[in-house]
Amino acid sequence: MPGEHPQPDRVIGEGAAEYRREGFCVWSRDITDRIHGPSVSCNDRYVKILIRVVTTAIALWVATLIVSGIDLTTASTPRKVGTLVVVAVVFGLINAFLKPIVKTLGCVFYILTLGLFALVVNGLLLWLASWAADKMNLPFHVSGFWAAFWGAIVVGLVSWLLNLFVHDDKPAT
């Protein structure tokens, strides 16, 4: 009610409250600063996404060097980098949206093969990313299932190795 004082446990500090005609108002920024300290910017999430895209692009580049059948057919280095970044984004989006569905529907195959079916799924998703890159006229091509299969293994291993060097701020559980 207007004119009433707040409960003692609700007062955070001086300047945290302002009396208005409609009642007692506590500013959220003041509460956040006094309880938790200054809030961390949302940019951390974008930096993590950027790091993931860059590591996937590097892993795809290594796959083009190691696996025959995965080709990056452009001569200029800036175009190669741009193509790899776009394909990394496409591959990440495909993994983000389709992989949970495939894992749910193919749960029995994951169990029966003790998880080895994941290698087949990753290869097929890489092959799908190659098809999407072809539809976007990008010079990235995976020539068949076995190239996609071995390429997915290389991408997974290189991404894992690169992620060992990326610090994660998650608290230990």
Mode of pairing for the β-strands spanning 70-72 and 23-26: unpaired
Kindly state whether residues 48 and 111 are assigned to the same domain: yes
Kindly state whether residues 83 and 157 are assigned to the same domain: yes
Amino acid at 53: V
Kindly state whether residues 25 and 90 are assigned to the same domain: no
User: Residue 168: inside a domain, yes or no?
Assistant: no
Kindly state whether residues 101 and 20 are assigned to the same domain: no
Q: How many distinct structural domains can be found in the chain?
A: 2
Distance between CA 171 and CA 19 in Å, rounded? 39
pLDDT tens per residue across span 12-32:
444 444 444 444 444 444 444
pLDDT of residue 72: 93
Kindly state whether residues 92 and 129 are assigned to the same domain: yes
Residue 117 structural domain: 43-163
Distance between CA 154 and CA 63 in Å, rounded? 6
Burial classification of residue 169, based on how many CB atoms lie within 10 Å of its CB (0-12 exposed, 13-18 middle, 19 or more buried): exposed
pLDDT averaged over every residue in the chain: 80
Range from 19-28, 78-87, 124-133 carrying the lowest mean pLDDT = 19-28
Residue with tokens 């949206």: 97
Question: pTM for the full model?
Answer: 0.70
pLDDT of residue 25: 45
Kindly state whether residues 98 and 130 are assigned to the same domain: yes
Kindly state whether residues 34 and 48 are assigned to the same domain: no
Q: What is the DSSP letter of 36?
A: T
Which three-class secondary structure state does DSSP give residue 78? Answer: helix
Kindly state whether residues 13 and 79 are assigned to the same domain: no
Kindly state whether residues 51 and 12 are assigned to the same domain: no
